[in-house]
Amino acid sequence: MNAPRTRVQRRPVHGVLLLDKPLGLSSNQALQKAKWLLRAEKAGHTGTLDPLATGVLPLCFGAATKFSQLHLDADKAYDTTVRLGQTTSTADAEGEVLATRPVTCSVGQVVEVLDRFMGPIAQVPPMHSALKKDGKALYEYARDGETVAREPRHVVIHDLDLLNMQLNGDTPHLDLHVVCSKGTYIRTLGEDIAEALGCGGHLSALRRTHTGPFGLAQTLTLDALEAMSPDERLAALLPVETLLGGHTRVTLGAEDAGRFLSGLRRRGHWPDAERVAVYGTDPDTLLGTAHVVAGELIPGRLLSPIEIQQILENPLRETEAAKDLS
């Protein structure tokens, strides 16, 4: 007879965990494990990484989920290995090998081709992706053996550095560092580069090194999170406002803060700004986002009074404040 499963008592948790996603887990599997370890009620991530990929994956808890979209739009950076000479059904190492071709390109040709992929480019999304067509994910069509027409997407490759290469031997490959705009498929980029070299290829490794301002040096692994005490796990979370880098700060007095939280516009001597982070005073706490047009502060995504209270009541907030004063 199986032992009864222990039910985890969930609790309100608000903040951001910068996870170094491990190999072999989907983004959602990694999120669910972190959510379980933190006993959090609500969680989400800021864009997916394939099971093959590792690296920076910001996880949002509680009130932070309201601002996760901001980092879906952020530029990303990756280190990747393109295995030359073999094309696969998924454009990565998880797929079935479809064709093997000799690698005959020169170093000069590699440099010339990489230069071609710099700047604005068009990509046809891979069939093995979560992009939807007619309400159904492309990978679902692929699993059923179907290939459907996909519109090219326009993305920007800001940087494409050749870190290392091997053009002969059993595993010819290119090691690349890519800095790109949102929506870039690195699998497709690698496949297209290899095709332009005349030999075809697929991605054999992928590691996200940055998303927006967040880098690998700031991340934590699931193993490290699991080894922590419950209080240490909470202390590892960054505050919700971490997601609002680049926002103009506006601080409101108690009366205006209350009305702003009710969704009412406020008037003041603020310059026009598209992205504003709004704070209250006494205590100093995040209220939400807004934008300013002609001196009018127009609410965007707002924290609820309950969320604000829960953040203020977090005992670790007082500990961190005491550290700041010491």
Q: Which residues pair with 57 in a beta bridge?
A: 19
Peptide bond into 283 cis (omega under 30): yes
* Active-site entry in 20, 50, 192, 256: 50
Condensed to tens digits (0 to 9), the pLDDT of residues 183-223 reads: 999 999 999 999 999 999 999 999 999 999 999 999 999 99
Condensed to tens digits (0 to 9), the pLDDT of residues 83-122 reads: 999 999 989 998 899 999 999 999 999 999 999 999 999 9
Is residue 50 annotated as a catalytic residue, yes or no? yes
Lowest mean pLDDT among 41-50, 85-94, 247-256: 41-50
Q: Kindly state the average pLDDT of the residues 29-33.
A: 96
Are 118 and 201 a contacting pair, CB within 8 Å? no
Length of the chain counted residue by residue: 326
In this prediction, residue 239 carries a pLDDT of 95
Residue 320 predicted with pLDDT over 50: no
| Total Cβ atoms within 10 A of residue 78 | 25
Residue 11 carries which side chain, given as an amino acid letter?
A: R
Instruction: Return the ∠ at Cα 24 (arms to 19 and 30), rounded to 5°.
Output: 35
